[in-house]
Structure 1
Amino acid sequence: MRLSQLFALCGTSQPLTDDPDILSVTADSRRAGPATLFFALRGVKQDGSAFIAQALSQGAAAVIVDHETAELDAATPVIVCPDAKHLLACMASALAGPQPSCIAAITGTNGKSSTADLLRQLWVLQGHRAASLGTLGLISDTDVPPPPSLTTPDPVSLSSTLAALADKGVEHVALEASSHGLEQHRLDGITLTAAGFSNLTRDHLDYHLTLEAYRTAKLRLFEDVLPAGGIAAVNADMDTETSAALKAIADRRGLKLRSVGQNGTTLRLIEARPTPSGQILRLALHGKELSEITLALPGRFQADNVMLAAAMCWNDDAEALEVLSLLPHLTGVHGRCERAVALPNGAAAYVDYAHTPDALDCVLSSLRPHTAGRLVVVFGAGGDRDRGKRPLMGAVAARMADLAIVTDDNPRTEEPASIRSEILAACPDALEIADRRSAIAAGLEALKPGDILVVAGKGHEQGQIVGTEILPFDDRLVIRELAGAA
């Protein structure tokens, strides 16, 4: 495809001194070659313009940069486009080929992975071939290889994966839309039919710096990515500022706003009654109370995830009751409030991905009604990430748990003891056990009849990042080994 045609497909034009054939696009100079369009983008740590010479030496047909740079001279065949990140996503999509016809994206601080997988399950229960893509990787019944392990993959990998799924007959895909991915325009080449917003609480301030910037990045999903008239499903129990912003965007762009939760108008939660193996929901659809629904998922927050997934699933309201009738058939999501073992004395141990103050609060408060005895938590905080949330997580554990054990999460290149000390400042009565396996063992040892242990922070992850090395570690497998259930 000619470069001029690619620009036209992206709704723009550019004066060109040459119009080469383009077969691929990349922002990685190592992948540049003949008939490649190289995007030299500014990143957090590196400026892609420093790699223009390398890309050209490898045969790149043309180069796009997002800013004027001293690396350029009059002889360098480059095009300056301030919206280069947007163009990269659009051009990657155009070159990859047709995508699935029904794509939904979910954003929010917590609940993205669960909601995406629950939506995939609902589509499968309806008889569709479906997939989900995000933190848990690619989940589908195809042999399509997974993209790089990011919550939202880079736009080239994302478009290629979606095109490969469509080629295999998968027409329904649920995506996680991270704030990083949205701010970096990774989803700009995707045609969505629906979008969801689960919640907004403190996270990723090491990258966005302020909560306002973090919110703005999330709102891009509805402001810029979701087409006008698309389905916008939102948790009505979110903070008022985010809720008001979403409503204003929906009104201005003609989005089909569906609100769920205790304050929802589309799908209202009247009651969530815990049971030993899950919960019973009383819901109202557009104000009309429905028959009770048995949900085989413990944790109050799972009710929110299920309602959000359901609201993204039906195209028009005539299909709503059919979708809601499928909720009892949903199963748990790996690493999300997942029961790892049940002990002979009636105690149980769960793993959860909770790594923010709000997520930790949610999982502990959700499991409290299922606890006949004490609630024990083992947790830590990631290194090289937002330090401000560490004492907040400690305060949650001190308030919510009967016994808290502070351990190492993914310390990365930080000193692990310093991370733990920042947490312990807000929960001085907690036990400090640096080694994560030993901390889990202590948590299991402390369990009495009817107690519940929550091992939080890593969920589905199968490695622990220490320094720059990833060491094999799976909370769920460790729990089972220590409990003799492996």
Structure 2
Amino acid sequence: MISLNALLHHIHLPLVPSDTQITGITLDSRKIQQGYLFAALPGAKSNGCDYIDVAIEKGASAILLPTNASFPETNQCIAIHCDNPRYVLALMTAIFFPNHPQHQVAITGTNGKTSTADFIRQIWQLQNLKAATIGTLGVISNTNYNYTGPVLTTPDSIMLHEILTNLVEHNVQHLALEASSHGLDQYRLDGLTIEAAGFTNLTRDHLDYHHDFQHYLEAKLRLFKNILPIGGVAGVNADMDPDALIKIKQAILDRKQNLRLVGEQGQFLQLLSVTPLPEGQKLEIKTALNDVFSVTIPLLGRYQVDNILLAVALIAKNEQDIANLIPLLPHLKGVRGRMEQAAILPNGAAIYVDYAHTPDALAHLLQSLRPHTDNDLYVIFGAGGDRDAGKRPLMAQEASKYADCVIITDDNPRTEDPDHIRKEVKAGAPAALEIADREEAIAQTIKKLQSGDILVVAGKGHEQGQIIGSVVHPFDDVTIIRKHVSSL
């Protein structure tokens, strides 16, 4: 419980005459209880302002709403009008839930957020620290905290701070979280006290929401311009698109943050060489102190190296601390649904599952697998419905460029016609094979695999369902693969 005026004072909004006590905060009118603050925000499917009367009837003490929104005459409830209610809500929530892990790291970028966050958590845990991640895979920690809420890459600010409170109650003081462009654009992370922020890469995605590439970049740059404090650690993949890199570096320098570049062009951690091995990859890394380390990681995929280097840069206390972290890298494990080995056939052919669902991610995935392929490289993928349609043929172009055999199938068609989606995908690879049913595509391709072949089933990764219309049908790529391999 906290007084409303205490909340308003902290975020520099005008105080109210009566010192009302706030017992809770919610975005959901169904959860309102006596003394709650209800955030009446406009959303994609409904408008919170339509539930103001319901909130008052249920005993809300205050309602946060946009400046131009109407409010009924009443003495029962206080209206807090503001120009940016999402931002104000995030700050209020951070004050209402004051217990945050002491060390927080946030990662943004088109691809690699989940893996980078998970590698950070693993490295902390290898140092015998209580650590957690929040992101696409839910909440993962080495405690008995069991999060059962909805899984979003970046939860809304109220849900996020409830999770933070629970983690602290379980003695977690080290947290890595994913910062999606949606979450950043909607101010969900504002109010967090992060000490390091990472930028993995930037390629086309989510233009159905952001409309153009510049707005997409600006949403991600909010992590550095508005959330990471002056002097904070800013880790960036130096090998990303040069034009984007210039803008990212400028934003970091403007905030006087501690820039740490990693990759082949890196200065904090420079990748000198990568040698593919049957069991993983051997790396040669040069540090900012000109020390050179050789280390073997038990993971396939060149992009995994980028994610690991960024993870090290984000949590190293200083240049000297790198020497303590690199010996831990051989103990890292793959992330669920990211270059995950699903099966090895009796003839030695290997099958992997990966979450790649953008043109760039698909290209990097296939390029990463090629050095490990002694024969043909197969890829099965599709494109989601009700999402950025412009990337569909681009994904097929990348698939046909790097794979020997391309199979187009369904992947969460949602409310769109699956045939139409596949047609748009196939425009980028006319010679590709088209098998509508995802399980059938997997089953038929497994039967073709010969010794030395690799098949990767891309797009869904860790997901446990296939969304057709508005119904989620149980579907797990790994389970389906193992089912058909076992019947060979």
- SS where residue 343 of structure 2 aligns? strand
Is the counterpart of residue 136 in structure 1 residue 156 in structure 2?
A: no
Whether contact under 8 Å (1:23, 1:95) holds in the other structure is: no
How much does 1:289 deviate? 4.7
Matched to 1:151, the amino acid is T
Residues 315-361 of structure 1: CA deviation (Å, up to 9, x unaligned): 22221110112111111111000110111212100000000000000
Q: 1:161-176 to 2 correspondence within 5 Å?
A: 161-176=163-178
Structure 2 Cα separation of the partners of residues 260 and 299 of structure 1: 17
Map of 1:390 onto structure 2: 392
Moved more, 74-83 or 40-49: 74-83
2:201 match = 199
The answer to whether the 8 Å contact 1:269/1:281 transfers is yes
SS in 1 for 2:486: coil
Is 1:94 the equivalent of 2:75? no
Aligned position for 2:327: 325
Q: CA deviation at 1:256?
A: 0.8
Task: Give, in angstroms, the shift of residue 485 of structure 1.
Answer: 7.9
Q: Does the Cα contact within 8 Å between 2:125 and 2:142 map onto a contact in 1?
A: no
Structure 1 residues 424-433 or 385-394, which shifts more? 424-433
What are the within-5 Å matches in structure 2 for residues 425-444 of structure 1? Answer: 425-444=427-446
Cα separation, 2, equivalents of 1:306 and 1:77: 49
**CA distance, structure 1, for counterparts of residue 319 and residue 162 of structure 2:** 33
Q: Deviations over 1:13-60 (max 9, x none)?
A: 314243310021112111122111111112233322111111111110
Unaligned runs of 5+ in 1: none
* Residue of structure 2 equivalent to 1:20: 20
Contact 2:408 2:426 in 1 (8 A): yes
Q: Which residue of 2 aligns with 1:360?
A: 362
Consecutive aligned runs of 4 or more in structure 1 exceeding 4 Å deviation? 73-76
> Match of 1:45?
45
Equivalent residues in 2 for 1:78-477 (5 A)? Answer: 78-146=79-147, 147-286=149-288, 288-477=290-479
Identity across matched positions, percent: 49
CA contact (8 A) 2:86 2:186 kept: yes
User: What SS is found at the alignment partner of 1:292?
Assistant: strand
Q: Deviations over 1:49-72 (max 9, x none)?
A: 111111111110011112312x42
Amino acid at match of 2:299: L
Superposition RMSD on alpha carbons, in Å? 1.4
Instruction: For 2:354 and 2:209, locate their aligned partners in 1 and report how far apart those are by CA, in whole Å.
Output: 24
In structure 2, the residue corresponding to 1:326 is in which secondary structure? helix
1:78 Cα offset (Å): 1.2
- Report deviation, 1:74: 4.7
Q: Which residue of 2 aligns with 1:72?
A: 71
Whole-angstrom distance in 1 between the partners of 2:389 and 2:129? 43
TM-score normalised by length of structure 1 = 0.97
Contact 1:377 1:443 in 2 (8 A): no
- Give distance in 2, aligned partners of 1:318 and 1:339: 35
Match of 2:58 in 1: 58
Contact 1:116 1:176 in 2 (8 A): yes
Deviations 1:199-249 (A, max 9, x none): 010000010101100100000000001111111100011122321222222
What is the SS of the residue equivalent to 2:22? coil
Report the secondary structure of 2:388's partner residue: coil
Equivalent AA in structure 1 for residue 372 of structure 2: H
**1:379-409 deviations in Å (ceiling 9; x for gaps):** 0000000000000011111111100110000
- The one-letter code matched in structure 1 to 2:473 is L
Number of aligned residue pairs: 484
User: SS state of the match for residue 378, structure 1?
Assistant: strand
- DSSP-derived class of the 2:293 partner: coil
- Alignment of 1:30 with 2:36, yes or no, is no
SS of residue paired to 1:258: strand
Question: The residue matched to 1:257 in structure 2 has which SS?
Answer: strand
The one-letter code matched in structure 1 to 2:51 is F
Aligned mates of 2:150, 2:295 — CA distance in 1: 38
2: distance between equivalents of 1:24 and 1:485? Answer: 54
Separation (CA, whole Å) in 1 of partners of 2:15 and 2:296: 61
Letter in 2 for 1:72: F
Secondary structure in structure 1 of the residue aligned to 2:282: strand
Q: Judge which range, 401-410 or 83-92, deviates more.
A: 83-92
AA paired with 1:125? L
Q: TM-score w.r.t. structure 2 length?
A: 0.97
Q: Which runs of 5+ in 2 are unaligned?
A: none
